[in-house]
Structure 1
Amino acid sequence: MKGDARRKEIFRLLQGSDRPISGSALAKRLSVSRQVIVQDIALMRKGGTPILSTTKGYAIQSSGAYSRVYKVRHSDEQTEEELNAIVDLGGRVEDVFVYHRVYGILRADLNIRSRRDIQLYLERISNGSSTLLKNTTSGYHYHTVSADSKEILDLILKALDEKGFLAKLQDYEPVDFWANPDTP
């Protein structure tokens, strides 16, 4: 299978799946190496295909969803409560990022859609020698959250605020995320 046809098939497979697909699974399905898949994904992204990389594989970012960035702060022990508040209301946690005054923006894709995804994420963090990204900035961090409507994003904002997780933007932060309109 030639490159263009393979990339079309990768897109078809990702678009037809409700879960991320690992690079190894794509490689096996298409009879190529995982490195070929990684290169194909890079070319597809360069061409504008919205592909998310997660710890569980690749996924197409849903195009009809609305998204919003929330700045939050909480303890490590409250991470599960924060993520549950988002997914229980119908949100998808696309990423986590921090704004570090020295290093700039450090970001990681999450693609968390359910309580099961949260449990797997927390298990991976606790089983390794890594720490949550928020710990590089005294607990302050951001999440890009997508949902099927602005109303769901408003409910998530209210829930995070009621739990005391929302954090105030500082003057040195590069973007006023609250003024940024929801993106469809």
Structure 2
Amino acid sequence: MKDEKKILGEERRQLILEWLKESQKPLTGAELAMKTNVSRQVIVQDISLLKARNEPIIATSQGYLYLQTQPQEQTYTRVVACYHTPEETLEELQLIVDHGVTVKDVTIEHPVYGDLTASVMVSNRQEAEQFIKKIEETKSAYLLQLTDGTHLHTLEANSIAKLDAACDALKKAGFLIES
């Protein structure tokens, strides 16, 4: 790696942008760093600069994603209020993704900062397990721990029926807070 040439500045950011736009899966900072022969911290700074230019890049637990402007099919979203313990997070995510629904994010209401939202972007069991594994490996706290278990999720699916089925499963498990 030391013999390889670093890709510098603007050229590197343009390559990162191209790779993100072309990729159907998230790209990690480590992957991008290796491809450009720079440190992961340089990639983090590059991503920040690209976001400052209003590039629709989001950081997920699996890596960076470029949000495509035109969805390939009609999608529906729904925000749901949930309540459970940190230990039940995997069960909650699996209940949702098993119905063909993506968990886009999690939001809590913090007493000082107001609404705090974090990207989740989990669409299947493997991604749910990877999300939990990353939380455990990094010894990170779940946002729901700041609100004793209460949180919101933005859910997305290609049909309202799938959203309804996921919500029914959450309700049956006792995770859904109903108004």
Q: What is the TM-score of this pair, normalised by structure 1?
A: 0.76
**Deviation of residue 62 (structure 1)?**
4.6
Query: Could you tell me how far 1:31 is from its partner in structure 2?
Result: 3.1
Do 2:62 and 2:131's aligned partners in 1 also have CA atoms closer than 8 Å? no
How far residue 127 of structure 1 moved from its aligned partner, in angstroms, is 4.4
Q: 2:80 aligns with which of 70, 90, 114?
A: 70
Q: Which is further off, 117-126 or 77-86?
A: 117-126
| Unmatched tracts of structure 1, length 5 or more | 170-184
Residue in 2 aligned with 1:181? none
The structure 2 residue matched to 1:25, chosen from 23, 31, 38, is 31
Q: Using the TM superposition, give the Cα deviation of residue 129 of structure 1 relative to its aligned residue in structure 2, in angstroms.
A: 4.1
Corresponding pairs, count: 169
Identity %: 39
Q: How many angstroms does 1:27 deviate by?
A: 2.0
Per the normalisation by structure 2, the TM-score is 0.78
Q: Deviations over 1:24-76 (max 9, x none)?
A: 21122123333332222122222222212123321123542443322111233
Q: 1:57 aligns with which of 58, 63, 71?
A: 63
Residue 47 (structure 1) aligns with? 53
Counterpart of 1:96 in structure 2 is: 106
Counterpart-to-counterpart distance in 2, 1:93 and 1:68: 10
Q: 1:139 aligns with which of 146, 149, 171?
A: 149
Q: Distance in 1 between matches of 2:124 and 2:30?
A: 23
Alignment RMSD, CA only? 2.5
Instruction: Assess, with a 3 A threshold, how the Cα gap between structure 1 residues 4 and 145 changes in structure 2: closer, same or farther.
Output: farther
SS at match of 1:122: helix
Letter in 1 for 2:15: E
Structure 2 segments unaligned to the other structure (5+ residues): 1-6
